[in-house]
Amino acid sequence: METLVKLKSKRRYFYSILFYSILFYSILLCLGACTKEGNEYVALESRNYFVREGVLHIRGGYYFTLLDSLARLDDASFKRWEQMNGFVSLRTVQDSLEKLAGEACSEAEFYEILSNHAEFIVVRDSMIQGVITEPFYRLICNRDKIFAINGKFYRVNEHEVEATAAESYTEALSRFASKQIEFAFPYRVREVRSSSGCPNEIFAERTNADNDRRVQLRVKVYVHLNQYNTCHYVYKQVVLFAIDALRKSWIGNTWYHYETDISYEGLAVQLDERYKGNWFQCYTPGGCYALCNNYVYGRTIEVNIPNATIYDDSNGYHEILQYVGDSIQNTPISTVPLRAAKGRAWTRGTSHDYYAKICCGYECPWP
């Protein structure tokens, strides 16, 4: 009998230890989960960019790095990045509406779509395209054409970027609507054209034998400008290759982008790379006396893009962007003329026999 009592006592002691152990570890797991969740939230807020209320917020020093990273993503990767961050870019909005208009079933539907979405799409030179065509801003703006840097909100229109300070997105929208703008600046920097070499932008297109598919190729060198406040301007060179796959709409003589295979080869440019020079005191374009960069022309470099065939599922508008040289602070710079440019592109719709080609300053390898 005494042995049985001792056995029951030991069993009760064992179950008590087991119960409190489970309770203790449950509390630890809970605390660990809460801490992990808190750390993830802190990490989201403290990293170089985050999305809040549908707006992409970027830390100032990371601006050009993020743009360069996003520009190098293929279309599928960019869509995954959007989904992962809960963000819908202006590029996605404009591309989907352009496709919707191009595939309209009647003339009335076509013009209704254009009228209802005039803030996003427009017909230019018989092409349905987005109102905002600057590649970088298409990547980082939301559907309201707004992004944020260091808490300041920026809105992009066809000609310039407006900035306002606000505590929330709702307040920013209100301030933009009431024209309470802190400052504005044009994002298309003056381009230099030279009698020697090639123009800054070269365009070529080719239509297939049935006159219902078209491919366009553009090569451009320009300066991307960003302004953080009236005393801080940053300029940087950009090389852009753009390939457009176009289908003819049965409504009128308009063309729209469509999803298809896009091929390109031999894409290359030669240009003088700009380097940051010494610091000096100067007046910025906004009239502030601040630190500025001298800049110097470096060696002539060649930018080559590997040959590829891709399926473009973002509405047949494929852009390849690459920054060149240093960021220049506060000293206005203009585009260096191209010394040479070449490349050709075609689509599955036009076939390999109908390609758009550019040859300037190079010996052309294609007939």
Residues 182 and 202 in one domain: no
Q: Read off the pLDDT band of 307 (50, 70, 90).
A: very high
Question: How many structural domains comprise the chain?
Answer: 2
Asked which of 39-48, 142-151, 317-326 is least confident by mean pLDDT, the reply is 39-48
Answer whether residue 24 shows pLDDT above 70. no
Q: Which residue has the higher pLDDT, 183 or 23?
A: 183
Q: Which of 47-51, 185-189, 206-210, 331-335 has the highest mean pLDDT?
A: 206-210
**Which of 188, 213, 233 is the last residue in one of the domains?**
188
Give pTM, 2 decimals: 0.76
Query: What is the pLDDT averaged over residues 173-183?
Result: 94
Do 212 and 181 lie in a common domain? no
Token couple for 86: 């809960």
Encode the chain in three state secondary structure: CHHHHHHHHHHHHHHHHHHHHHHHHHHHHHHHHHHHHHHHHHHHHHCCEEEECCEEEECHHHHHHHHHHHHCCCHHHHHHHHHHHCCCCHHHHHHHHHHHHHCCCCHHHHHHHHHHCCCCEEEECCEEEECCCCHHHHHHCCCCCEEEECCEEEEECCCEEEEEECCCHHHHHHHHHCCCCCEEEECECCECCCCCCECCEEEEEEECCCCCEEEEEEEEEEEEEEEEECCEEEEEEEEEEEEEEEEECCCCCCEEECCEEEEEEEEEEEEEEEEEEEEEEEECCCCCEEEEEEEEEEEEEEEECCCEEEEECCCCEEEEEEEEEEEEECCCCCECCECEEEEEEEECCCCCCCCEEEEECCCCCCC
| Least confident window among 205-214, 316-325, 355-364 | 316-325
The pair of structure tokens assigned to 232 is 């801080």
Q: Which range, of 35-39, 303-307, 311-315, 353-357, averages the lowest pLDDT?
A: 35-39
**213-229 and 232-248 beta bridge pairing:** antiparallel
In a domain, 223, yes or no: yes
218-271: per-residue pLDDT in tens? 999 888 888 888 788 898 889 999 999 999 987 868 999 888 999 999 999 998
Q: Could you tell me if residue 217 is inside a domain?
A: yes
264 occurs within a structural domain? yes
Residue percentage of the chain with pLDDT more than 90: 45
- Is there a domain that residue 42 lies in? no
pLDDT of residue 312: 64
* pLDDT(304) > 70: yes
Looking up tokens 């279309």, which residue turns up? 75
96 and 143, same domain (yes or no): yes
Q: Tell me the pairing of strands 201-207 and 213-229.
A: antiparallel
Domain limit, last residue, from 154, 188, 222:
188
Q: What is the pLDDT of residue 174?
A: 96
Residue 266 confidence (pLDDT): 96
Specify the residue for token string 């993020």: 66
Do 111 and 219 lie in one domain? The reply is: no
Mean pLDDT computed over every residue of the chain: 83
For 266-298, write each residue's pLDDT tens digit. Answer: 999 998 888 888 888 888 877 788 888 888 877
Let me know if residue 33 belongs to a domain.
no
Count the neighbouring beta carbons within 10 Å of the beta carbon of residue 91: 24
Indicate if 63 and 157 belong to the same structural domain: yes
**Span 192-208, average pLDDT:** 80
Residue 2 lies in a domain: no
| Cα(260)–Cα(314) distance, integer angstroms | 9
User: pLDDT tens across 89-120, in order?
Assistant: 999 999 999 889 988 888 899 999 999 999 99
Domain that holds residue 184: 48-188
pLDDT at residue 277, rounded to an integer: 84
Residue 31: what pLDDT? Answer: 40
Both 268 and 327 in one domain: the answer is yes
Report which of residues 151 and 2 the model is more confident about.
151
Question: Within this chain, do residues 156 and 122 fall inside the same structural domain, yes or no?
Answer: yes
Q: In this structure, are 251 and 339 located in the same domain?
A: yes
Condensed to tens digits (0 to 9), the pLDDT of residues 140-149 reads 999 999 999 9
Domain boundary among 173, 188, 203: 188
Domain for residue 248, yes or no? yes
Looking at the chain, the whole-number percentage of residues with pLDDT higher than 70 is: 84
Pick from 13-17, 179-183, 198-202: least confident: 13-17
Examine the domain organization and report whether 294 and 321 are in the same domain: yes
In angstroms, the CA 190 to CA 310 distance is 33
- Degrees to nearest 5, angle at CA 159 with 156 and 164: 40
Answer yes or no: do 283 and 152 share one domain.
no
User: 199 and 158, same structural domain?
Assistant: no
5 pLDDT more than 70: no
Task: State whether 341 and 242 are in the same domain.
Answer: yes
Q: Is 206 inside any structural domain?
A: yes
